[in-house]
């Protein structure tokens, strides 16, 4: 498999606070990779750094191009999608308007994207029902669906998703898990930050565990299942 995203010796800072300490990670083409760990260890900071939202040093290569120093919108144009934990929707716009805003411009060319509005509505029929509703009045689960789908409308090659199941009802959690598998089926790589260990281990090809701003484990889901010491020290409450 060829590397799509390569993070090397990544250090990140919030002001004078040194948050990430030499993080190394790889996401290959067509992979779902989960970044696990307790709250506050630097998982969200890692993907924010890749998206140009955090002061960072080191190297972040996406499709062989260096991202460090680029603005977030330029990074997005290169095909890197980001779904933030805070469900960053446009509250006063309708569901459909939010989705259209995320649509990738093809500049009138015959370029085809992998996703269209009908795909979004087929995956999440609830969004179809609410297509003319202001996004600000949607439930938390509906807003999560909308945020995920709006990012997909930009036709990214890799999507970084921060805590997609946080605060969702179990039924919606299962729906989001199926959605993530569908991304892989369509050739989209995923870097997933997720608290729910069972979901991450079920859908991922590889996992990283982070502790105190560094990677403390890398392996397959089965490797992590068998490693009681890592789970107890870095994951279990």
Domain ranges of the chain: 3-234
Which among 10-14, 102-106, 139-143 has the top mean pLDDT?
A: 10-14
The pTM of this model reads 0.91
Contact residues for 211 (Cβ-Cβ < 8 A; gap 6+) = 37, 38, 41, 233, 234
Query: Rounded to whole angstroms, how far apart are CA atoms 145 and 106?
Result: 24
- The mean pLDDT of the chain is 91
Q: Confidence class of residue 106 from pLDDT cuts 50, 70 and 90?
A: low
Tell me which of 16-20, 34-38, 102-106, 151-155 is least confident. 102-106
Is 90's pLDDT higher than 70?
Answer: yes
Tell me which of 38-52, 139-153, 206-220 is least confident. 139-153
- CATH code of 3-234, in short, is 3.40.50.300
Dump pLDDT digits (tens) for 130-171: 999 999 999 888 888 899 899 999 999 999 999 988 878 888
Q: Confidence class of residue 236 from pLDDT cuts 50, 70 and 90?
A: confident
């Amino acid at each position: 498999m060829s590397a799509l995203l390569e993070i090397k010796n990544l250090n990140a800072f919030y002001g004078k606070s040194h948050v990430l300490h030499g993080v190394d990670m790889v996401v290959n083409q067509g992979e779902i990779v989960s970044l696990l760990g307790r709250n506050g260890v630097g998982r969200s900071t890692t993907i924010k750094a890749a998206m140009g939202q955090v002061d960072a040093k080191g190297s972040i290569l996406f499709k062989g191009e260096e991202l460090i120093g680029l603005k977030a919108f330029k990074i997005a144009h290169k095909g890197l999608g980001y779904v933030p934990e805070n469900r960053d929707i446009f509250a006063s716009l309708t569901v459909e308007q939010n989705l259209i805003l995320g649509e990738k411009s093809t500049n009138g060319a015959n370029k085809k994207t992998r996703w269209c509005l009908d795909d979004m509505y087929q995956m999440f029929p609830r969004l179809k029902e609410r297509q003319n509703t202001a996004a600000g009045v949607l439930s938390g689960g509906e807003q999560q669906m909308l945020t995920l789908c709006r990012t997909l409308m930009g036709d990214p090659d890799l999507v970084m998703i921060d805590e997609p199941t946080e605060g969702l009802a179990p039924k919606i959690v299962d729906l989001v898990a199926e959605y993530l598998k569908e991304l892989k089926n369509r050739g989209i790589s995923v870097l997933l930050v997720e608290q729910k260990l069972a979901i991450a281990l079920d859908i991922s090809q590889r996992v990283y565990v982070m502790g105190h701003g560094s990677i403390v484990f890398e392996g397959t889901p089965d490797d992590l299942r068998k490693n009681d010491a890592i789970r107890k020290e870095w994951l279990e409450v």
